[in-house]
């Protein structure tokens, strides 16, 4: 831990569960940093954590917090393990003057484990670009925010991208697409939406599972070679991605016909594959690069003072780092929005921040003020729609860095939304939840 707060010292000392009393009156907004710094997924966890905490430091140093309320945090190692994630959540939820503001579980599995607990404790579960897709239906999941772009939306954008490349969506008829997925809840999320799209556009889709952790893919790529698909969708995570790219090279499959999800599209996923990664395309809801005003400000106000989180400074501006910054921007702006309604300069509770998230609206002008134009997409959430964006940019790896090759490509909500509502309705039925009436929300 680099940054010290009196609150932190006290809460950590009392970490066995009696925390939170120490700072009952401080004007601070506590955000748990429950990420992972060890294990196969450490590059993602450490990069995102660095970006998020650096942005909080920027807000604290440059603006003195949000209307004077400074951000505090505490790190907890989840090891990408559900049980540890729940333990970290329970440990962190009562800290700070108002408890946890919201939580970024940073693992689809942990998100699932927290949905009920967060709803009960009135702490928003914000899963930006992962988590349970059908939770975008805010009537049934009031405290869950699968924000910016869900897997299903992202998937329709990918098919759109393929359609653009083919010269029109009607040209997709008869094409063959292979969905190579990590055999977990995360990997399997897009199967139904792909099947629905295959029916609509008339392409063939073959789903091929790669068992966790995915460092053995010979059989899968043999099968792909037999199918000879036009595209391969790579839904990998961690070590599975470079392995897939290397196996593709060995199988002689062109890498510029492989499209990865954003958890397959970071520098850490392609550099280990070396040459094999050249030309590989990945979707992203955030882009890489340090050439944005918001990243420059972080360097000026945080790293220039020697307070930066990243030990390896070259990772500032990488995909994962920037994703962490996006997480933080969403968090900070939700708090700001909540303060507008519930009292400026006051720490917000989870319940109030939930309102802030639900009423968050960030257009181009708003992003410009944040210095994040082109860095992330405009967002508008509502009681009905907890996703709010649904756009994707595609980037291609040129052997040295990610190059953005498209503008924001929007998703096909005419396919996604009915599926979300149907799936959420099934959940509501199983759990006996009565959906909220959105017209009565203020």
With binding defined as CB under 8 A, does residue 38 bind another protein? yes
Contact between 315 and another protein per CB under 8 A: no
What one-character DSSP code corresponds to residue 16?
T
**Distance (Å, whole) CA 387 – CA 194:** 19
Q: Is residue 365 at the binding interface for another protein, with CB under 8 A as the rule?
A: no
Query: At closest approach, how far in Å is the CB of 288 from another protein?
Result: 21
Interface region with another protein, contact rule CB under 8 A, candidates 56-64, 80-88, 230-238, 279-287: 80-88
Number of residues in contact with another protein under rule CB under 8 A: 58
175 contacts another protein (rule: CB under 8 A): no
Q: Min. distance of Cβ 160 from another protein in angstroms?
A: 21
Nearer to another protein, 213 or 371 (CB): 213
Of the pair 266, 334, the CB lying nearest another protein is at: 266
CB of 377 to another protein, least distance (A): 25
Q: Taking CB under 8 A as the rule, does residue 137 contact another protein?
A: no
| Residue length of the chain | 442
Residue in 55, 73, 80, 112 binding another protein, rule: CB under 8 A = 112
Q: Which is nearer to another protein, 113 or 377 (CB)?
A: 113
In the DSSP assignment, the letter for residue 408 is P
Could you say whether residue 8 binds another protein (CB under 8 A)?
yes
Binding to another protein by residue 1, rule CB under 8 A?
Answer: yes
By CB under 8 A, tell whether 366 contacts another protein: no
- Longest Cα–Cα distance in the chain: 66
CB 90 within 8 A of CB 32: no
- Spatial separation of the C-alpha atoms in residues 440 and 270, rounded to whole Å: 48
In angstroms, the CA 391 to CA 393 distance is: 7
269: tokens are 């996923």
Q: Which of 240, 288, 277, 244 is nearest to 47 (CA)?
A: 288
User: Residue 69 carries which DSSP code?
Assistant: B
> Minimum CB separation from another protein for residue 427, in Å?
7
At residue 98, the 3 state secondary structure works out as: coil
Rounded to the nearest whole angstrom, what is the least distance from the CB of residue 71 to another protein in the complex? 17
Shortest separation between residue 126's beta carbon and another protein, angstroms: 17
Specify the residue, 152 or 402, whose C-beta has the smaller distance to another protein: 152
Should residue 122 be labelled a site residue for another protein when binding is judged by CB under 8 A?
no
C-alpha distances (whole Å) from 149 to each of 164, 283, 320, 432 are 20, 11, 16, 27
Where does this chain touch another protein (CB under 8 A) — which range of 126-134, 165-173, 235-243, 263-271?
126-134
Using CB atoms within 10 A of its CB, is residue 219 exposed (0-12), middle (13-18) or buried (19+)? exposed
Q: Which of 21, 83, 219, 222 binds another protein (CB under 8 A)?
A: 83
Q: Which of 27, 40, 67, 87 binds another protein (CB under 8 A)?
A: 87
Q: Which of residues 192-251 bind another protein (CB under 8 A)?
A: 192, 212
For 79, other C-beta atoms within 10 Å of its C-beta total 17
Segment contacting another protein (CB under 8 A): 131-139, 256-264, 283-291, 405-413? 131-139
Q: Could you say which of 77, 230, 351, 441 contacts another protein (CB under 8 A)? A: 77
Nearer to another protein, 50 or 356 (CB): 50
Q: Please report whether residue 37 would count as binding another protein according to CB under 8 A.
A: yes
Footprint of another protein on this chain (CB under 8 A)? 1-2, 4, 8-9, 12-13, 15-18, 36-38, 42, 46, 49, 74-77, 79, 82-84, 86-87, 89-91, 94, 108-109, 112-113, 115-117, 120, 132-134, 183-186, 188-189, 191-192, 212, 311, 423, 426-427, 430-432
């Amino acid at each position: 831990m680099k940054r010290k707060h009196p609150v932190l010292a006290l809460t950590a000392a009392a970490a066995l569960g009696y925390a939170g009393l120490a700072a009952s009156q401080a004007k601070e907004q506590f955000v748990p940093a429950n990420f992972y710094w060890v294990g196969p997924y450490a590059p993602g966890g450490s990069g995102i954590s660095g970006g998020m905490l650096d942005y909080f430091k920027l807000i604290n140093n440059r603006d003195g917090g949000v209307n004077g309320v400074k951000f505090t945090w505490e790190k907890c190692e989840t090891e990408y393990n559900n049980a540890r994630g729940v333990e970290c959540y329970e440990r962190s939820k009562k800290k700070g003057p108002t408890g946890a503001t919201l939580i970024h579980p940073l693992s689809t599995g942990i998100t699932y484990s927290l949905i009920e607990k967060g709803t009960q404790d009135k702490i928003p579960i914000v899963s930006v670009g992962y988590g349970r897709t059908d939770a975008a239906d805010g009537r049934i999941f009031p405290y869950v925010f699968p924000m910016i772009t869900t897997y299903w939306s992202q998937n329709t954008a990918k098919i759109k991208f393929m359609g653009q490349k083919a010269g029109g969506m009607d040209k997709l008829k008869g094409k063959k697409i292979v969905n190579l997925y990590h055999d977990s809840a995360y990997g399997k999320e897009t199967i139904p939406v792909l099947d629905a799209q295959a029916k609509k556009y008339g392409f063939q889709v073959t789903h091929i599972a790669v068992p966790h952790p995915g460092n053995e893919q010979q059989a899968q790529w043999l099968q792909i070679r037999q199918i000879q698909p036009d595209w391969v969708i790579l839904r990998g995570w961690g070590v599975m991605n470079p392995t897939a790219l290397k196996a593709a090279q060995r199988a002689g499959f062109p890498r510029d016909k492989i499209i990865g999800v954003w958890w397959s599209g970071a520098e850490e996923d392609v550099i280990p594959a070396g040459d094999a990664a050249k030309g590989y395309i990945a979707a992203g809801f955030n882009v890489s690069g340090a050439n944005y005003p918001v990243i420059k400000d972080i360097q000026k106000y945080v790293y220039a003072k020697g307070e930066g989180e990243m030990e390896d400074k070259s990772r500032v501006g990488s995909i994962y780092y920037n994703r962490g910054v996006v997480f933080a921007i969403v968090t900070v702006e939700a708090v700001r929005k909540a303060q507008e309604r519930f009292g400026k300069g006051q720490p917000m509770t989870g319940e109030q921040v939930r309102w802030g998230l639900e009423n968050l609206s960030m257009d181009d002008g708003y992003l410009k003020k944040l210095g994040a134009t082109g860095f992330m997409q405009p967002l508008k959430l509502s009681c009905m729609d907890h996703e709010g964006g649904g756009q994707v940019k595609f980037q291609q790896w040129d052997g040295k860095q990610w190059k953005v090759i498209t503008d924001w490509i929007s998703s096909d909500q005419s396919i996604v939304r009915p599926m979300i509502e149907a799936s959420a309705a099934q959940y509501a039925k199983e759990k006996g939840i009565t959906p909220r009436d959105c017209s009565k929300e203020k």
